[in-house]
Amino acid sequence: MLVECAWAASRTKTRPGAQFHRLVRRFGGHRNTRAKKKAAIAVAHILILIIYCVLDRHQPYQELGEDFYTKRQDPERYKDKLVARLASLGYTVTVQPAQAA
């Protein structure tokens, strides 16, 4: 039942839906059916944790939004990671801030 709910949640713009898409990419991509199934099981686990917390704390669920995982990232750290990755491929990178439009 929870896996069916996870498949439904994967089509929504919610935190569990965003988690599904993150996990599918990590497990092998959207063309890989095994990756989708593994991500659905993981999202079912997340849903059971959400249900448990709602029942345990007697508080309504607050949706954190589909951009929850992107807001957690530090932009400077992400930039440094991408520059290091390009440097490992043999490129020299200079980073400049974007000009205001």
Asked if residue 94 is part of any domain, the answer here is no
Q: What is the mean pLDDT of residues 59-76?
A: 85
Asked if residue 37 is part of any domain, the answer here is yes
pLDDT of residue 72: 80
Position 101 pLDDT exceeds 70: no
Burial 8-23 (b: 16+ CB within 10 A, else e): ebbeeebbbbbbbeeb
**Structural domain boundaries, residue 58:** 2-88
pLDDT of residue 78: 85
Asked if residue 58 is part of any domain, the answer here is yes
pTM of the model: 0.71
Domain count within the chain: 1
Asked if residue 59 is part of any domain, the answer here is yes
pLDDT of residue 87: 92
> What are the structure tokens assigned to 76, written together?
């400077």
- Rounded-to-10 torsion of CA 79, 75, 18, 86: 0
Greatest alpha-carbon pair distance for the chain in Å reads: 55
Cα(20)–Cα(39) distance, rounded to whole angstroms? 6
Asked if residue 33 is part of any domain, the answer here is yes
